């Protein structure tokens, strides 16, 4: 992808959606991590996520042909899974265009999550807004999922740059991207090695992230006190990130700011790192307060 499409004044969100969909499929599950007999369930859940990613910026939905092409699964298999998801209400089909999008049950599930499990999202909302406003760039919340990291939220800043290298729902091996690298760097050495081993196959899609590069990036992040993605994922797209511990001080998430190289160098980078660290502390304190409240309830 050209740098100007990764971070620019004008971009096509559809490119981001298609790339997001590819990453969703590529990293849908850690190799060998699926419980016995769960493969069909796993494939259906991946397809549900794929519908959400591809239809994210398309109110009209996504076609069966595109779902088949991106998922690299037989058309009949994709169709059967879609029928099951429609019967359960998680996917709906437009009667005029025959395209698919998330259904009402998916919206209900998201609403339930926002009132319960999404404590990180709730605790980070104000911080993301402050970061985006102060930086003028795009701010992200990334959360850990096993040996991977998922972009959970993004907040656009008022500046002229729009970064399309990372979108909500994107899933990368830990260490790929600033927020993801911040989480990996906060793990003990033994766990870092476990992650590197677990993601070896997936990282073949990221030729600039061999095992030794991963270790070098972890060492640099620990030394600096923040993670830097200096265009390694997509040339022209830079980002800085800091880890966010949960109420029990486990490294479960990260806050990051993404832009172009010129806006993340020198004194400005130092200022943004300080802002990120301050907001990471605020999110951590909010999570501790939420936990204390639940214990008293």
Model pLDDT for residues 183-239, shown as the tens digit of each residue:
999 999 999 999 999 999 889 888 899 999 999 999 999 999 999 999 998 888 999
Per the document, the length of the chain is 297
| 244 DSSP assignment | E
Residues 6+ away with beta carbon under 8 Å from 116:
none
Q: What is the sign, positive or negative, of the torsion defined by CA atoms of 261, 263, 267, 271?
A: negative
| 230 DSSP assignment | E
The tens digit of pLDDT for each residue in 44-96 reads 888 898 898 888 778 789 999 999 988 888 999 999 999 999 999 999 999 88
What is the enclosing helix (H) or strand (E) of 202? none
Question: Quick one: average pLDDT of 9-28?
Answer: 47
How many other β-carbons are positioned within 10 Å of the β-carbon of residue 139? 30
Report pLDDT for 113. Answer: 66
Q: Which domains does the chain have, with CATH numbers?
A: 10-113 (1.10.10.10), 118-296 (3.30.450.40)
pLDDT category at 26 given cuts 50, 70, 90 is: very low
- Which candidate, 184, 215, 189, 211, places its Cα nearest to that of 200? 211
Report pLDDT for 40. Answer: 82
The tens digit of pLDDT for each residue in 160-172 reads 887 777 888 788 9
Report pLDDT for 120. Answer: 84
Tell me the C-alpha distance between 12 and 80, whole Å: 31
Tokens of 175: 């260490």
Task: Indicate the pTM of the whole model.
Answer: 0.75
| Secondary structure (DSSP) of 16-42 | HHHHHHHHHHHTSS-TT-SPTT-HHHH
Residues 6+ away with beta carbon under 8 Å from 229:
177, 178, 181, 237, 238, 239, 240, 241, 258
Report pLDDT for 17. Answer: 45
pLDDT category at 27 given cuts 50, 70, 90 is: very low
Angle CA 100–85–111, to nearest 5? 85
Percent of the chain exceeding pLDDT 90 equals 56
Beta bridge partners of 138: 258
In contact, 209 and 200? CB cutoff 8 Å: no
Distances (CA, A) of 93 to 47, 54, 55, 100, 106: 14, 14, 12, 5, 14
Report pLDDT for 171. Answer: 84
Report pLDDT for 279. Answer: 97
In contact, 5 and 235? CB cutoff 8 Å: no
In contact, 146 and 33? CB cutoff 8 Å: yes
| 265 DSSP assignment | S
How many other β-carbons are positioned within 10 Å of the β-carbon of residue 62? 21
pLDDT category at 36 given cuts 50, 70, 90 is: low
Tell me the C-alpha distance between 55 and 101, whole Å: 6
Tell me the C-alpha distance between 165 and 127, whole Å: 21
């Amino acid at each position: 992808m050209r740098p100007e499409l990764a971070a620019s004044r004008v971009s096509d969100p559809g490119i981001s959606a298609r790339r997001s969909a590819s990453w969703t499929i590529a990293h849908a599950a850690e190799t060998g991590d699926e419980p016995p007999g769960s493969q069909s369930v796993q494939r259906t859940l991946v397809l549900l996520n794929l519908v959400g990613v591809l239809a994210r910026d398309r109110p009209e939905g996504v076609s069966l042909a595109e779902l088949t092409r991106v998922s690299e699964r037989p058309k009949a298999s994709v169709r059967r899974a879609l029928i099951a998801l429609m019967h359960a209400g998680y996917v709906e089909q437009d009667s005029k265009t025959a395209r698919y999008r998330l259904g009402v049950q998916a919206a209900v599930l998201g609403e339930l999550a926002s009132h319960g499990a999404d404590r990180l999202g709730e605790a980070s909302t104000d911080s993301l807004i402050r970061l985006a406003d102060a930086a003028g760039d795009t701010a992200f919340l990334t959360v850990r999922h096993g040996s991977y990291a998922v972009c959970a939220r993004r907040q656009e800043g008022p500046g002229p740059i729009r970064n399309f290298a990372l979108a909500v729902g994107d899933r990368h091996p830990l260490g790929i991207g600033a927020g993801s690298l911040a989480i990996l760097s906060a793990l003990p050495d033994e766990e870092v090695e476990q992650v590197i081993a677990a993601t070896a196959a997936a990282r073949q899609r990221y030729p600039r992230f061999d095992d030794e590069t991963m270790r070098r990036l972890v060492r640099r992040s620990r030394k600096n006190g923040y993670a830097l993605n200096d265009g390694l994922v997509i040339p022209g797209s830079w980002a800085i990130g800091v880890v966010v511990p949960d109420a029990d001080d486990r490294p479960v998430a990260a806050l990051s700011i993404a832009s172009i190289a010129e806006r993340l160098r020198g004194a400005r980078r130092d200022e943004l790192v300080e802002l990120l660290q301050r907001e990471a502390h605020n999110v951590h304190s909010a999570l501790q307060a939420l936990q204390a409240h639940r214990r008293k309830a």
